[in-house]
Amino acid sequence: MSRGGSGGRTRVLTARGRTAASTRWLERQLNDPYVRRAKAEGYRSRAAYKLLELDERFGLLKGVDRVIDLGVAPGGWAQVVKRRRSQATVVGIDLLPVDPIEGVTLFQLDFMDDRAPELLSEALGGPADLVMSDMAANTVGHPQTDHLRTMGLVEAGVEFACEVLRPGGAFVAKVLAGGADAGLVAQLKRAFTTVKHAKPPASRKDSSEWYVIAQGFKGRAAPPKTDTTD
């Protein structure tokens, strides 16, 4: 049950069986302008506006024809791509089920599964222009552990992106407070011409999430030549 509060804010009344934490979460959702906007504009989640704001700042979706969405559920980012680039081939993967999105190929599978890279590459049908990742590991409540688990997913995403991106392509991924660690940033700078961190306005101020944006993929390094001389 809810009722209007002062200034038009919706207050959620405590209900039997509802915890204080769930009451606070529901109240925040009801008063979140991005949640209301997503519902009005047909996006599956407020996260869609994070990608829209990152695109506005970095031009991530300009001219893209092939896009891979890692951690696609519930599908807001894939929706944004298809609305901005209706002819683009979009392939998404998530451990969670995702309702069908017109024009998007979806796989319900753990990205860390050995089969995932080949399935995604085959479905894409060519080099990717953009690999985007909104993946985050399930939190255990221990900040250092949560950070390490999420960064492990980001590192796997970077390795995959460097296998499938075309020269000039881009990679964007969610990281936690503090951004990508020094080793990962160094790896990205070797593979991309620009690497930046950003916190889009749609990301809640009290959230620890940031995004790393790597653009201008330099291409896969050529394997070292084998010396065939005696």
β-pairing, 10-12 vs 2-4, is: antiparallel
Write the single-letter amino acid at 204.
R
Q: Does residue 205 carry a catalytic annotation?
A: no
What residues are paired with 67 via a beta bridge? 90, 130
Please report, in range form, the residues annotated as the binding site: 75, 77, 94, 110, 134
Phi, psi of 30 (to 5 degrees): -65, -25
Q: Catalytic: which of 50, 174, 199, 218?
A: 174
Supply the DSSP string of 36-66, one letter for each residue.
Answer: HHHHHHT-SSTTHHHHHHHHHHH-TTTT--E
Please report, in range form, the residues annotated as the binding site for S-adenosyl-L-methionine: 75, 77, 94, 110, 134
CA atoms within 13 A on the CB side of 96: 12
* 3-state SS assignment for residue 153: helix
* 3-state SS assignment for residue 29: helix
Contact status, residue 2 vs residue 13, Cβ threshold 8 Å: yes
CA torsion 88-135-18-21 (nearest 10°) is -120
Could you list the active site residues?
A: 174
